[in-house]
Amino acid sequence: MTALREDVGFLLTRASGLVVRATNAALADLGLRVRQYSVLVLADDAAEGISQRDLAEVLGLDPSQVVALVDELAAAELVERRPSPTDRRQRLVAATAKGVRLRRRADGAAAVGLQRQLGDLNVEEQGTLRGLLQRVVDGPEDAREETRRAG
């Protein structure tokens, strides 16, 4: 329609919005939304659980948003906050047995939702897209270098 259609930033936002919508629709029967599902995956994949700080960083969310998401999942008994085995003062978010079971079903549903939007891209093209997006997420080399120096 206009030059916006050529703009990679605009296309990223639109593609992301459409994939989120398709995935939310696919997860609705399980009572989950995409962000809750992402927290559940991260909590389940981390052997001892994951800190809310790490959740915020990986998901690119504000700490207050993460607290709200964890509260929702904890109220549904899908995750729980446990003391870290290495630092009792720190609490980690871990999936409950009920959460692990739901996550397995949600994995399938989320994949179906994603493919509904990506359906025109074959496996190789999806791999290319994945690799390019990983590099966008990692950011330019010099920005990583700055972060490393600052850290």
Residues of this chain that bind its own copies (CB under 8 A): 1-20, 23, 34, 38, 41-42, 45-46, 58-60, 110, 113-114, 116-121, 125-126, 128-130, 132-143
Say which residues have a Cβ less than 8 Å from residue 33's Cβ, sequence separation at least 6: 24, 27
Shortest Cβ 32–its own copies spacing (Å): 13
Shortest Cβ 36–its own copies spacing (Å): 13
Comparing C-alpha atoms, which of 31, 43, 24, 35 is closest to residue 110? 24
What is the end-to-end Cα distance of the chain in Å, rounded?
44
Say which residues have a Cβ less than 8 Å from residue 103's Cβ, sequence separation at least 6: 37, 40, 41, 44, 95
Shortest Cβ 121–its own copies spacing (Å): 6
At position 60, the amino acid (one-letter code) is G
CA 120 to chain CA centroid, nearest Å: 23
Say which residues have a Cβ less than 8 Å from residue 58's Cβ, sequence separation at least 6: 42
Report residue 30: phi and psi, to 5°.
-90, 0
